[in-house]
Amino acid sequence: MTTSIKFSRQEYYDAITAAITAASTMGSKKSTGEISFCKILAWVWDSTLINATLEDFQITIPHLQDTALKLLIGRLRYGRPVDHEKCEEVEKHYYSIT
């Protein structure tokens, strides 16, 4: 039995918007789950310097796991979100993590 996770580019972009909002509300002393979530969001911009792993997905904040999953799969399916309205914020987030 094959299971396929399907969602549109717009749903991917909605997840990016939600992730930027969530990351901006996290304080400077992040929990392990918050750090993992932030790594996944940074990976959306550039997957070469950030190594977002399945372990990061597993330990991310439980209420953000759906968003994290959309970020991971969306990046693989749709690529870097250069035309997203918040692409500059995603890029800034990436550089704040690296």
Quick count: other Cβ atoms within 10 Å of Cβ 97? 17
pTM, entire model: 0.87
Let me know the angle formed at the C-alpha of 94 by 84 and 15, rounded to the nearest 5 degrees.
40
- Dump pLDDT digits (tens) for 31-68: 888 988 999 999 999 877 777 677 777 777 888 889 99
Contact between 83 and 91 under an 8 Å Cβ cutoff? The reply is: no
**Quick one: pLDDT at residue 20?**
97
Cα 89–chain centre separation: 12
The three-class DSSP label of residue 10 is helix
